[in-house]
Amino acid sequence: MVERTGILGKFLALVQGEVAADTLEAYRRAGQAVYDLLRQVEERRLALKIQSLNPWTVDPATQAQFLCAWNAFVLQTLGDRFLEADYEANPTTAGYVPPITAEQALAFYTQVESWLNRAYQAGINPDYRLDASLPANLPAWGGNESCPNTHLDGTIAATRLLRTHTEAAIAAFESEALPADKQVVVNQIHQLLASATSEAEYAEQLWAPNLPQEVHEKVEQHAKSALEQYYHLGQILAMPQLLDRSQTFEMRSSSSFSASQRSRPLPGKAGFDPWCLTDPAVRDDWQRPAETEEAIDLLWKYDPEPEKTLAIQTDIDSALVRGDITYATNRSGARLGHYYCCPWAPIYVVKHLVKIGDRQISTLQEFTLDVSAEAVFDGGAFKRQILVGSFQSSPDLDYCAPRPSNRHRASRRRGC
């Protein structure tokens, strides 16, 4: 655990707009088991090679364990390196990080436990099968602004470590006893490694402090590409059969819903359900505050294009029926809850790469439907978006109605 800075450091952090890294440090501590697991996996790989078993003849549960351990390792490494790079560059404000760093590190950390949990299950159950589409992508890189220098320092440090472990995993493939068709795959894997390493080395050689913005963006582009390639390559090394899918990711459509299901009644029409966006836990609670009814009515009153809102919800419902998404849970397996703001939509987690509305969402990312008329009162626009992020439980409930008098909090409700 990092030693928290003193009063002066805290003051400087606040002046610079930094936020406390307490939550990140908690995830950092919790994820240290990843490194022990990866060491066990690498020892297991070596033992299997000594037994003359190649990656194609390893049982599916062991393949799943190797893959999940790799994904957890990469995500934990990225979160750790981002924190370490910031602390090393700004030791006076150690324990605090810029908001963009907090957001990105949290995006990595919050997926670690899911992969770690699956790895442990696969290690115990010889019949285990993964329930997520593969190969998985890294969490989305947050924000449209250029990343800070410390992000590039952390990214480049991570690529060095990933390269070392990737090369060690590739060694398990190399054997004179492999049939010719498998040797072709080994050659392809070496080609993928060369591509990832080329991107990483180019970014590292190009990188220096105080670069012009256009060069900084080039470094960022190559470094991120290297990370994505190492992430995918590690999964292929665990499950070689993924190689055929490494460049083409299956994305389900909403075609499984019938035309009638996709054509929901609009507000004011017979059969319209004003609560269709809402988490069932709230929708079915007849003891909810009376203000919730008014907030829902105002939401639909000020929605200029309710057909677009309902189309997105239909995509969500379709994905839920197909099993491409499910309700997000916390570490104990309980439902994470709903978004804090009206219409209190559920928090979902993606199991298979999916497209909701015009937004593509990757495996294990959490999201919700964020719809609000709150800004309309002040002349702002109606908000309708898929919100992807890392959600935490909260006791808050906000009515988010389009007039100041309707902004309240209700502590009895758990939201996100």
User: Cβ contacts of residue 296 below 8 Å, gap of 6+?
Assistant: 274, 275, 278, 342, 343
Q: Same structural domain for residues 83 and 184?
A: yes
Q: Same structural domain for residues 225 and 316?
A: no
Count up the domains in the chain and report the number: 2
Q: Same structural domain for residues 241 and 280?
A: no
pLDDT at 352: 84
Of 177, 212, 245, the position where a domain reaches its end is 245
How far, in Å, CA of 371 to CA of 383, rounded? Answer: 5
pLDDT at 254: 47
Q: Is residue 37 part of a domain?
A: yes
Q: Same structural domain for residues 289 and 401?
A: yes
Task: Give yes or no for a contact between 266 and 155, defined as CB atoms under 8 angstroms apart.
Answer: no
Q: Same structural domain for residues 274 and 205?
A: no
Of 245, 275, 304, the position where a domain reaches its end is 245
Which structural domain, as residue segments, surrounds residue 318? Answer: 259-406
Nearest to 76 by CA among 7, 143, 151, 162: 162
Q: Same structural domain for residues 72 and 119?
A: yes
Q: Is residue 194 part of a domain?
A: yes
Rg of the chain's alpha carbons, rounded to an integer?
A: 24
Q: CA 224: distance to chain centroid?
A: 15
Q: Same structural domain for residues 97 and 36?
A: yes
Nearest to 70 by CA among 234, 277, 217, 290: 234
Q: Same structural domain for residues 239 and 269?
A: no
Q: Same structural domain for residues 217 and 308?
A: no
How far, in Å, CA of 349 to CA of 376, rounded? Answer: 30
Q: Is residue 13 part of a domain?
A: yes
Q: Is residue 359 part of a domain?
A: yes
Q: Same structural domain for residues 91 and 191?
A: yes
How far, in Å, CA of 370 to CA of 367, rounded? Answer: 9
- pTM for the model: 0.72
Of 245, 268, 289, the position where a domain reaches its end is 245
3-state secondary structure the chain: CCCCCCHHHHHHHHHCCCEECHHHHHHHHHCCHHHHHHHHHHHHHHHHHHCCCCCCCCCHHHHHHHHHHHHHHHHHHHHHHHHHHHHHHCHHHCCEECHHHHHHHHHHHHHHHHHHHHHHHHHHCCCCCCCCCCCCCCCCCCCCCCCCHHHHHHHHHHHHHHHHHHHHHHCCCCCCCCCHHHHHHHHHHHHHHHHHHHHHHHHHHHCCCCCCHHHHHHHHHHHHHHHHHHHHHHHHHHCHHHHHHCCCCCCECCCCCCHHHHCCCCCCCCCCCCCCCCCHHHHCCCCCCCHHHHHHHHHHHHCCCHHHHHHHHHHHHHHHHHCCEEECECCCCCECCECCECCCCECEEECCCEEECCEEECCCCEEEEEEECHHHHHCCCCEEEEEEECCCCECCCECCCCCHHHCCECCCCCEC
pLDDT at 6: 64
pLDDT at 416: 34
Q: Same structural domain for residues 271 and 374?
A: yes
**Residue-level pLDDT, tens digit, the chain, 416 residues:** 455 556 666 767 676 778 889 999 999 999 999 999 999 999 999 999 888 888 888 999 999 999 999 999 999 999 999 999 999 998 888 888 999 999 999 999 999 999 999 999 999 999 999 988 888 999 888 755 667 889 899 999 999 999 999 999 998 877 766 778 888 888 899 999 999 999 999 999 999 888 888 888 899 999 999 999 999 999 999 999 888 654 444 445 444 444 444 567 899 888 899 999 999 877 776 566 777 888 889 999 999 999 999 999 999 999 998 888 999 887 667 888 899 888 999 999 998 888 999 888 888 889 999 999 888 877 889 999 999 887 877 766 677 776 644 433 332 333 33
Q: Same structural domain for residues 269 and 224?
A: no
| Beta-carbon count within 10 A of 56 CB | 15
